[in-house]
Amino acid sequence: SRRLSRRPAVTLLDVFQLHARRRPRQPLLRFQDEIYTYEDMDRRSNRAAWALSRRLGLQSGRTVAVFLPNEPTYVWTWLALAKLGCPMACLNCNVRGRALRHALEAAQATLVLASPGERGTAG
């Protein structure tokens, strides 16, 4: 509760960055046969943030809908968006049709990020 009452509040990104500085080689995530360290995730999220801002022109405050399966890409995408100051609308990658269209409309996202395997139709 003390952390939440701090101004500015401590965020999950703050905690991640603290761990990445203090123990960069410590495992953060295991996915199938791969292990990702804090350093791995920090580097990948920095690259993603750079690409989103420089190549796609994404600016702080813009909402991004994320339509990705449960895999490491999801984590570094979330971190990248947090680093850019962009709210993330999490879309269930199993949703299709009318429910997907509703979720996209409700998110009012500037951009939708999806993996090539997510070809759900919104209409």
Cα(97)–Cα(120) distance, rounded to whole angstroms? Answer: 7
Among the residue ranges 4-13, 46-55, 101-110, the one predicted with the least confidence is 4-13
pLDDT at 16: 95
Distance CA 67, CA 110 (A): 13
How open is the CA angle 22-54-91, to the nearest 5 degrees?
75
Helix/strand/coil for 62: coil
Q: Rounded to an integer, what distance in angstroms lies between the CA atom of residue 80 and that of residue 42?
A: 9
The residue extents of the domains of the chain are 12-114
pLDDT at 93: 82
Q: Any residues with CB less than 8 A from the CB of 14 and at least 6 apart, and which?
A: none
Residue of higher predicted confidence among 94 and 72: 72
What's the pLDDT band for 46 if we cut at 50, 70, 90? very high
CA pair distance 77, 73, nearest whole angstrom: 6
DSSP category for residue 52: I
What mean pLDDT is predicted for residues 44-52? 97
* pLDDT single digits (tens) 2-33: 655 667 778 999 999 999 999 999 999 999 99
Measured distance CA(121)–CA(123) in Å, rounded: 6
CATH of segment(s) 12-114: 3.40.50.980
Q: Which residue type occupies 55?
A: R
Residues contacting 53, CB < 8 A, separation 6+: 59, 84
Contacts of 121 (CB under 8 A, 6+ apart): 96, 97, 100
